[in-house]
Structure 1
């Protein structure tokens, strides 16, 4: 097993806060969507996948809706420390989300 640290933004009420959490994945594979959902549930966030390409999740509970946006994934033992997805597109989407488009 190896550590997978991922950084994410909690977007709620037009405000974004950055957090990170860790999940353990087998040595022979990368984290899967179910790994992220499980890690979020362990942190108290009940979510479902909204956008697979951008790794954005939305709340499934009633009340105040929120989104969780994975911004960076780090696998222990990986040679490169690069973002998992396109940063420019990600920034554009964040701007549109904050403006409630």
Structure 2
């Protein structure tokens, strides 16, 4: 997915996201961090393609994660890769939700051991 995003091959990136989701449905190991990264990648692809509804739909479950599951790596990716794509043409609500998520993210050193 990352290679497709860098190449701005949004259709291929979205297909990769779809394949990951299907693999999880079929019983592959699911981890919320990986799942969230796939969702974020999907949102980025949708924004690149000008499909804001798809971006919001992909991101919504991630943005609703409780604070203790908001990893710094996820917030960093949102800030580094998605936020620069969002400008005044994009819904203010989406920009605000992303900013809010990043403010509530858990720093790596705050994650409890064990």
User: Quick check: which one's helix share is greater?
Assistant: 2
TM-score (ref. length: structure 1): 0.30
Query: Which structure carries more relative contact order (alpha carbon 8 Å, separation 6+)?
Result: 1
TM-score (ref. length: structure 2): 0.28
User: Quick check: which one's strand share is greater?
Assistant: 1
